[in-house]
């Protein structure tokens, strides 16, 4: 890492801390030549392999755009969407893979979206999992009902 002030070819790390909820590491560095300090941010790259075989960098913006349509008319704010995209990114990074299928991204969206808004979840799942019949919806809704039932018995009192 070159010093941005004097272009010295080496620097010393004086402090490291994770930033952005673990998605990146912020390092405080000091140049041994001019003694000035500067900060670098390191982010592990996360790539998405699309169905066409094209690889592109992971983007939270794309997650938000992909989910926004399913959330139309629902009580979901831009902050909720940003938080959802963050949760998806954290889940994907936790897998330890540097490259992910578009399919895995869709799967990673389903859980947090379900927690956020069940109607939006059903809309998204119906497109993403290509629901073809009423039975597909019934199965998904049945899954939600079961969760409600176990939540209400557990939370009684
Ligand atoms: Zn320097």
Q: Which two tokens stand for residue 74?
A: 């629902």
Domain ranges of the chain: 12-43, 47-151
| d(CA 9, ligand 1 centre) in Å | 8
- Whole-prediction pTM: 0.68
Cα radius of gyration (the chain): 21
| d(CA 26, ligand 1 centre) in Å | 19
| d(CA 45, ligand 1 centre) in Å | 28
| d(CA 30, ligand 1 centre) in Å | 8
| d(CA 13, ligand 1 centre) in Å | 13
Report yes or no: 61 and 43 within 8 Å, Cβ to Cβ.
no
**Coil, strand or helix at 39:** strand
- Whether 74 shows a pLDDT value over 70: the answer reads yes
- pLDDT tens, residue by residue, 94-152: 887 888 998 889 989 999 999 999 999 999 999 888 888 889 889 999 999 998 888 77
How many Cβ atoms are within 10 Å of 58's Cβ, its own excluded? 20
Query: Which residues, in sequence order, are bridge partners of residue 43?
Result: 24
What are the φ and ψ backbone dihedral angles of 41, each rounded to 5 degrees? -120, 125
| d(CA 3, ligand 1 centre) in Å | 5
Report yes or no: 120 and 140 within 8 Å, Cβ to Cβ.
no
What is the Cα–Cα distance from 40 to 64, expressed in whole angstroms?
27
| d(CA 25, ligand 1 centre) in Å | 22
Q: In what order do the strands lie in the sheet with 37-43?
A: 12-19, 24-30, 37-43
- pLDDT tens, residue by residue, 16-47: 888 766 667 889 999 999 999 999 888 777 88
């Amino acid at each position: 890492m070159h010093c941005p002030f004097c272009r010295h070819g080496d620097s010393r790390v004086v402090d490291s801390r994770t930033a952005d909820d673990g998605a990146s590491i912020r390092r405080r560095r000091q140049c041994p030549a001019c003694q000035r300090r500067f900060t670098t941010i390191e982010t592990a790259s996360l790539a998405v392999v699309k169905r066409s075989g094209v690889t592109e960098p992971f983007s939270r913006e794309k997650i938000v755009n992909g989910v926004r349509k399913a959330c139309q008319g629902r009580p979901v704010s831009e902050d909720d969407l940003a938080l959802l995209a963050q949760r998806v990114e954290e889940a994907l990074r936790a897998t330890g893979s540097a490259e992910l299928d578009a399919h895995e991204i869709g799967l990673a969206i389903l859980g947090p979206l379900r927690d956020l808004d069940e109607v939006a979840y059903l809309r998204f799942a119906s497109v993403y999992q290509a629901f073809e019949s009423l039975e597909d919806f019934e199965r998904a809704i049945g899954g939600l009902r079961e969760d409600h039932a176990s939540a209400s018995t557990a939370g009684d009192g």
